[in-house]
A and B are shown apart, each in its own frame.
Chain A
Amino acid sequence: MAETGAGQDNKGRALTGRLARNRWLLGAGVLAILAVYFFAGASAYVLVLALAVLAAAAMLPADAEREPADAGAAIEASGLQRLSGEYLAAAVADPLIIFDHSATIVHANAAAFAAFGGLAPGMSLSLKFRAPEMQALLDGILAGEVASDAVDYTEKLPVERTYRVSASTVGHATGLYVLVFKDQSETRRIDRMRADFIANASHELRTPLASIAGFIETLRGPARNDPAARDQFLQIMQNQTGRMARLIDDLLSLSRLEMKPYLGPGTEVDLRQTIDSVIDSLGPLAGENGVVIEREFANAPLVVPGDRDELFQVFENLLENACKYGQSGGRVTVSIAGGEDGQQPGFDVTIRDYGPGIAEEHIPRITERFYRVDVENSRAQKGTGLGLSIVKHILTRHNARLSIKSEVGKGAAFTVHLPAR
């Protein structure tokens, strides 16, 4: 292999490969040329020339099809072709189904089994996915009209799930097709939450507005000359405008919180002093409701990273709720536990009331916007339905947690765990 000695190993190996593959033909050719030489008595030059031509022919690529075969051999050597399609399918996290030209399942990966259940190879896909849009997708791809296509597919039962389903052919003329399901349920749910929020907010604003409009009509009509009724109506109207103003304030502070989801670094706050000023500011409200706020913590300063105004709002909302809804208990305790050591260094601020408590089924949902355990009571207490969701938002920004413990009839405890530095 003198002419391939320029360091091109691959080429050299390919040439030896060709020589090896053609060895029988080559041998036969050599024999034939030797036979002609001996029997016909041609010159030695002719013999050498004929042998050289034969060797060159054997070294030339045999035909066009040989090249891909060589490439295939190279890939096989790297181990990719030995990789089974099933292993590849199993490595895909989304549900994936391979099927043949009659829409019969050839293979379904583990994610597909988990998502749809009861998928056995040999089962018909069009019997399993009966929704009209899935039928159209399968028909389209099997008829060969398109090489790949995608639709949105929603399963309502047993739980609502939405998938972006894409179907495409596998390779060239393999007669196999693949369906891949991309789960979009979460995105869909968030979209719906946003729509629900707008609907809820406008509903909340509409209720006081409708009552104000009604009273204005009465004041201009039947109650025009009735000073006593006029005073009473104006009072109600003032309450309603107050409610709308509070709601708009809360909405604005929520949207402000959403605008800057991360807390600026480096700000610190004295927790004890913040909580003390919250207690002071809520003193009048507690007095009105006949509730005593009990302070159960030391006077030493407790410094945590955080924004003073925002944390003030957290404890104000929690303490206000405790005074309003735990009114019947007559007292509310505020305690601080923890320190800078331990498993999760930080402080647990617990605000506990001794009122009616919260039923178990409400606790997971209580921080949702406009979620109210008791609509009538909340309205009477001038609640906007946004307080706890603001709390949750601020705490998320502070890397803090809110845990709620309550038993009906025994009051409720809201604990804020604020991490130390």
Chain B
Amino acid sequence: MQSVHIASAYDEELKFLSKRIAAMGGHAERMVEQAVAALVNVDHGLAQKVIQDDLVLDEGQREVDDKAIIIIARRQPMATDLREIVGAIRISADIERVGDLGKNVAKRVASVDGRQPNSLFRGIEALANLALTQLKEVLDVYASRSVERIGLVRDRDDQIDAMYTSLFRELLTYMMEDPRNITPCTHLLFCAKNIERIGDHATNIAETIYYIVTGDQMPTDRPKGDRTDKVVLSGTVPAK
């Protein structure tokens, strides 16, 4: 009787960890979504809300860390259980970073006024949709544990990088056209970079899940990063 009781309490603790991670993930998804909406619609109220919501994620990460350490100390977990717990610590850290990046996008809403060309916002929105899709798929895989879908998730990172590179080029062009664009465009550049980083964190989470489920590290032939380090525009100002 006693051992069954202990095992079920242990199960409960592990379940609590994954439930907490899922809740944090949902929260982070919502934050990024709202941060981008705030940026596109120049909604300062929504931006403030996103900035405040970040506290929930910080709290969540601390809680997951504490619980994980207590489980390790108390239960001396082995094999899958140990991977599950260490994975939870890593995933919660990644999600917390995603929240920070979302918060940073929200903070820049005040500096980017709404007079930017619409196509730029559309680009940022499309980039955010790609990153959020990736995050959603990764968290879905965390729920279903179907690792065969992870390859797909990681390949999507390529699209995000391509999109980011094209946005980078576009923003650079706007800055060269008119120096008054430099302030807002620089902020938008950072926003795009933040969103691109969210995709990278999603990839990290995917790798952690692969490790939790299979016990192996993922093969390292992951797609190369963005190519903005090679983007150079010639110094001529485009004719108007």
In the complex, chain A residues 143-158 whose Cβ is within 8 Å of any chain B Cβ:
156-158
In the bound complex, residues from chain A placing their C-beta under 8 Å from that of B22 are: 124, 126-128, 130, 135
Contact of B129 among A130, A131, A157 (CB under 8 A): A157
Chain A residue with the shortest CB-CB distance to B139: A130
Chain A interface main SS type: loop
Return B15 CB to nearest CB of chain A, in Å. Answer: 7
In the bound complex, residues from chain B placing their C-beta under 8 Å from that of A123 are: 143-144
B15, B142, B143: most-surrounded residue (chain A CB, <10 A): B143
Contact of A130 among B26, B33, B132 (CB under 8 A): B26
A156 CA / B31 CA spacing, docked (Å):
13
Return A119 CB to nearest CB of chain B, in Å. Answer: 8
Contact across chains for A124 and B19 when beta carbons are under 8 A apart:
yes
Contact across chains for B15 and A124 when beta carbons are under 8 A apart:
yes
CB of B161 within 8 Å of the partner chain: no
Chain B residue with the shortest CB-CB distance to A103: B19
Chain B interface main SS type: helix
A132 CA / B132 CA spacing, docked (Å):
16
A76 CA / B23 CA spacing, docked (Å):
43
Mark interface residues in A101-115 (1 if CB within 8 Å of B CB, else 0): 011000000000000
Contact of A118 among B27, B129, B144 (CB under 8 A): B144
Contact of B140 among A103, A126, A128, A132 (CB under 8 A): A128
In the bound complex, residues from chain B placing their C-beta under 8 Å from that of A102 are: 15
Contact across chains for A127 and B143 when beta carbons are under 8 A apart:
yes
Contact across chains for B18 and A124 when beta carbons are under 8 A apart:
yes
Contact of B27 among A120, A132, A157 (CB under 8 A): A132
Contact across chains for A126 and B23 when beta carbons are under 8 A apart:
yes
Chain B residue with the shortest CB-CB distance to A125: B143
CB of B80 within 8 Å of the partner chain: no
Contact across chains for B139 and A156 when beta carbons are under 8 A apart:
no
CB of A275 within 8 Å of the partner chain: no
Mark interface residues in B131-160 (1 if CB within 8 Å of A CB, else 0): 011001001101110100000000000000
In the bound complex, residues from chain A placing their C-beta under 8 Å from that of B29 are: 130-131
CB of A134 within 8 Å of the partner chain: yes
Contact across chains for B146 and A118 when beta carbons are under 8 A apart:
yes
In the bound complex, residues from chain A placing their C-beta under 8 Å from that of B99 are: none
In the complex, chain A residues 84-142 whose Cβ is within 8 Å of any chain B Cβ:
102-103, 118, 120, 123-124, 126-132, 134-135
Contact across chains for B143 and A124 when beta carbons are under 8 A apart:
yes
Return A103 CB to nearest CB of chain B, in Å. Answer: 8
Return B182 CB to nearest CB of chain A, in Å. Answer: 28
Return A160 CB to nearest CB of chain B, in Å. Answer: 10
- Total count of chain B residues near the partner, CB < 8 A: 21
A103, A123, A127, A129: most-surrounded residue (chain B CB, <10 A): A127
CB of B97 within 8 Å of the partner chain: no
A129 CA / B23 CA spacing, docked (Å):
9
In the bound complex, residues from chain B placing their C-beta under 8 Å from that of A158 are: 133
In the complex, chain B residues 16-67 whose Cβ is within 8 Å of any chain A Cβ:
18-19, 22-23, 25-27, 29-30, 33
In the bound complex, residues from chain B placing their C-beta under 8 Å from that of A124 are: 15, 18-19, 22, 143
A130 CA / B15 CA spacing, docked (Å):
15
In the bound complex, residues from chain B placing their C-beta under 8 Å from that of A103 are: 19
A131 CA / B25 CA spacing, docked (Å):
8
In the bound complex, residues from chain B placing their C-beta under 8 Å from that of A129 are: 26
Contact of A157 among B18, B19, B133 (CB under 8 A): B133
Chain B residue with the shortest CB-CB distance to A120: B144
A336 CA / B140 CA spacing, docked (Å):
57
A156 CA / B33 CA spacing, docked (Å):
9
A103 CA / B29 CA spacing, docked (Å):
21
In the bound complex, residues from chain A placing their C-beta under 8 Å from that of B27 are: 130, 132
* In the complex with contacts A102-B15, A120-B144, A130-B29, A156-B132 CB distance below 8 A: yes
Contact across chains for A132 and B129 when beta carbons are under 8 A apart:
no
Contact across chains for A127 and B133 when beta carbons are under 8 A apart:
no
In the bound complex, residues from chain A placing their C-beta under 8 Å from that of B129 are: 156-157
Chain B residue with the shortest CB-CB distance to A119: B144
Contact across chains for B140 and A118 when beta carbons are under 8 A apart:
yes
A343 CA / B195 CA spacing, docked (Å):
56
In the bound complex, residues from chain B placing their C-beta under 8 Å from that of A128 are: 22, 140, 143-144
Return A63 CB to nearest CB of chain B, in Å. Answer: 35
In the bound complex, residues from chain B placing their C-beta under 8 Å from that of A134 are: 26
In the bound complex, residues from chain A placing their C-beta under 8 Å from that of B146 are: 118
In the bound complex, residues from chain B placing their C-beta under 8 Å from that of A131 are: 26, 29-30
A158 CA / B129 CA spacing, docked (Å):
8
A126 CA / B142 CA spacing, docked (Å):
12
A102 CA / B18 CA spacing, docked (Å):
13
Contact of B30 among A127, A132, A157 (CB under 8 A): A132
In the bound complex, residues from chain A placing their C-beta under 8 Å from that of B30 are: 131-132
Contact across chains for A127 and B19 when beta carbons are under 8 A apart:
yes
Chain A residue with the shortest CB-CB distance to B133: A157
Chain A residue with the shortest CB-CB distance to B141: A118
Contact across chains for B132 and A157 when beta carbons are under 8 A apart:
yes
Contact of B23 among A118, A130, A156, A157 (CB under 8 A): A130
In the complex, chain B residues 111-147 whose Cβ is within 8 Å of any chain A Cβ:
129, 132-133, 136, 139-140, 142-144, 146
Give me the 3 closest cross-chain CB pairs, A-B, nearest first.
A130-B26, A127-B143, A127-B22
Give 9 new A-B contacts, CB below 8 A, not counting A118-B140, A123-B144, A132-B27: A103-B19, A118-B146, A124-B19, A124-B22, A126-B23, A127-B142, A132-B26, A134-B26, A135-B23
**A-B pairs with beta carbons under 8 Å apart, 27 shown:** A102-B15, A103-B19, A118-B144, A120-B144, A123-B143, A123-B144, A124-B15, A124-B143, A126-B19, A126-B22, A126-B23, A127-B18, A127-B142, A127-B143, A128-B22, A128-B144, A130-B23, A130-B27, A130-B29, A131-B26, A132-B30, A135-B22, A135-B26, A156-B132, A157-B132, A157-B136, A158-B133
